Structure 1
């Protein structure tokens, strides 16, 4: 039997015991996990160092190594995410509707766990903890398959979490990590109907497209992040610069960072050169249309392919547009329905943008970097869904539940 199937069976077998736990029992387990991460942070960082060294030898870009890297501060942040999950209401058992039919049937619709959730993700070991915490809090078992670049980190993290869970009422088997780094292990997970209830991919466009195209297990799609900021004519130049720089340079390796800056032509004539200089000081490579390169001669030419690229790096496309309509047309053509921003003092334009732009998160005068479960108050997040069914945007605890109807009668039969 393959590792993937064996661990899926083990996780599924833990589901009934997991579902019988109270909120208090689950919370105590999550707190134990958080404490263990802090207590064992040194050995986790050592394992992470193995991944980083292997990545450097393989020529992995620095932006991707940043996503992979763990230190004391980041581990503390991951542990804090678990504690925030503890503080959040447990959605399991929440009654969404209750009503009594004319025949006397009493019907309740309530939230229940999904069952066994598969998570396929790339080089971000924090996802290992985030996914485990969110799934276990909602009574779901979880089968994790991280990227090979983070295998040492993920293996050590799960080992630490298993040791912590063994001292609680929560069955350690509910958390499983697939260690097989071969592509075949992903392919097998995609076909585990009857064991996996849903798969959630987290990563780049190629990973997500592969899962969506080939899975026979239901998928919740978390999309790539080709995000835009449109700076309107009436924008305050200081605010516009701060938002744009934060959206691109604060952490370019993540999915909610900006890839293309759209600038109104009138604003560009007065302020784009100054903003471009601030980007250059931060070592951001600029690519621009002809109008941009006239104002910023050092900018490289931008192509159609560039507009459709999620860089996850210190690279930024800039395009001058005639106004709101052209900006929204560009976003509709190249965006991935993740996060889009307008910077403007014109409330009519802001409302039009917020209403008409089709994305999971739309912003007025705020950086797209806020599209994050932690920033939205969900604690950790399982991902940012860019689809429209079941869940959309940052996925916290409620997104990891399904519903069940409970019907109580006193002998009714259907005529």
Structure 2
């Protein structure tokens, strides 16, 4: 047991905190979970999917409590949208689990094998990470996605969602526990921290020996707090300041369609566009028409002097605006003279999440795709596709913007590590 856990226990006069107690339960369940076959895990996930649909009414009832509290507290419309559940969204959550079932189980996959001159046979195989800690905000669908992906890969998981969706998460996990308790899967492998205070999240950051990895998912402040203060290893899922660059040769109809989709289809999520960069030549002909479409969609526009000259309804953008993830109906617009200037802006203000170029110039497209450093780069397609379900992963546990271990939407293989299995016939090292 780690020193931190010992200190936590002693500091509470022998009474375990909720965080430590539930992490210990997950830790104890992890070895049992890791032994389940693919068929056993898939059967449980299918039963969970059915249970979510069957219990949709009770989940929506719990969700209504979160929404009511949010409205009373002045929660923004975009955040309420992230929290809100209905039968369609619950059915989508269940479908995500069914898609995970259809995907290959990475656990036990042989990545390479070779034999040494001394006769040792060596195989490299995928294994579960162990116990995953998830700290996230708002969206209750993350609870189901994280549980499904972790359980499919044989990982126990400790979930700590935000207070805004506490009742929704509580009821969802109750449904999952009730279902798991009727199967071979240990229900203790899934834990939900109900303490919504900052201290419960901070406590998870130091649970070395109980948690094998932490995955934060939410706004920039949450992620940076975890990255800067955790002693448990962290997979960083980044904030999404995403850009769409409309090049001089862009098809106007395509540019409009992609830009509107990237901003308006669901502005509250991390892969939505926050800044549109427009080549000066294209802007002179088409910016006013595109901006008018945004205004009709109730999007507040903020921009540089050049964009405001072309469309006076655009408000002046501050320097801070270029570095802000709005997650709302707000969009920055900047006019650029050439591709290099667009790349420079994205490099300075992007978060290495998702970036798009709309162009008919193949050379410019190739340069953009090669030179932009991001987890996902697009040519003539909306950044809204950076998503585990859209990539065919069934679901995702987050979108990693770091470069170690994994990058981009994190599906099943991302939740595994590897180990070497060595078989000999009595060899000793001289």
Q: Say yes or no: TM over 0.5.
A: yes
Deviation (angstroms), 1:316? 0.2
C-alpha offsets along residues 348-407 of structure 1, whole Å, 9 cap, x if unaligned?
Answer: 000000000000000000000000000000011000000000000000000000000000
Deviation (angstroms), 1:168? 1.2
Aligned with residue 352 of structure 1, among 354, 363, 367 = 367
Matched, 1:241 2:256: yes
Aligned with residue 278 of structure 1, among 293, 304, 307 = 293
Q: What corresponds to 1:228 in structure 2?
A: 243
Give the number of aligned pairs: 415
Q: Distance in 1 between matches of 2:198 and 2:114?
A: 49
Mapping of residues 80-95 of structure 1, within 5 Å: 80-95=95-110
Deviation (angstroms), 1:16? 1.2
C-alpha offsets along residues 259-279 of structure 1, whole Å, 9 cap, x if unaligned?
Answer: 000000000000000000000
Q: Secondary structure at the match of 1:4?
A: helix
Q: What corresponds to 2:423 in structure 1?
A: 408
Gaps of 5+ in 2: 1-15
Q: What corresponds to 1:123 in structure 2?
A: 138
Deviation (angstroms), 1:105? 0.1
Q: What corresponds to 1:172 in structure 2?
A: 187
Deviation (angstroms), 1:160? 0.4
Q: What corresponds to 2:170 in structure 1?
A: 155
Matched, 1:34 2:34: no
Q: What corresponds to 2:386 in structure 1?
A: 371
C-alpha offsets along residues 71-99 of structure 1, whole Å, 9 cap, x if unaligned?
Answer: 00000000000000000000000000100
Q: What corresponds to 1:52 in structure 2?
A: 67
Matched, 1:316 2:335: no
Aligned with residue 339 of structure 1, among 350, 354, 360 = 354
C-alpha offsets along residues 232-281 of structure 1, whole Å, 9 cap, x if unaligned?
Answer: 00000000000000000000000000000000000000000000000000
TM-score by length of 2: 0.96
Matched, 1:330 2:340: no
Q: Distance in 1 between matches of 2:309 and 2:34?
A: 63
Q: Distance in 1 between matches of 2:199 and 2:316?
A: 40
Shift >6 Å, 4+ stretches = none
Matched, 1:183 2:190: no
Q: Secondary structure at the match of 1:254?
A: coil
Q: What corresponds to 2:128 in structure 1?
A: 113
Q: Distance in 2 between matches of 1:380 and 1:275?
A: 33
Q: Secondary structure at the match of 1:304?
A: coil
Deviation (angstroms), 1:10? 0.4
Gaps of 5+ in 1: none
TM-score by length of 1: 1.00
Q: Distance in 1 between matches of 2:197 and 2:335?
A: 44
Q: Distance in 2 between matches of 1:287 and 1:19?
A: 51
Deviation (angstroms), 1:167? 1.2
For the aligned residue pairs, the C-alpha RMSD in angstroms reads 0.3
Q: What corresponds to 2:267 in structure 1?
A: 252
C-alpha offsets along residues 128-148 of structure 1, whole Å, 9 cap, x if unaligned?
Answer: 000000000000000000001
Aligned with residue 90 of structure 2, among 53, 75, 99 = 75
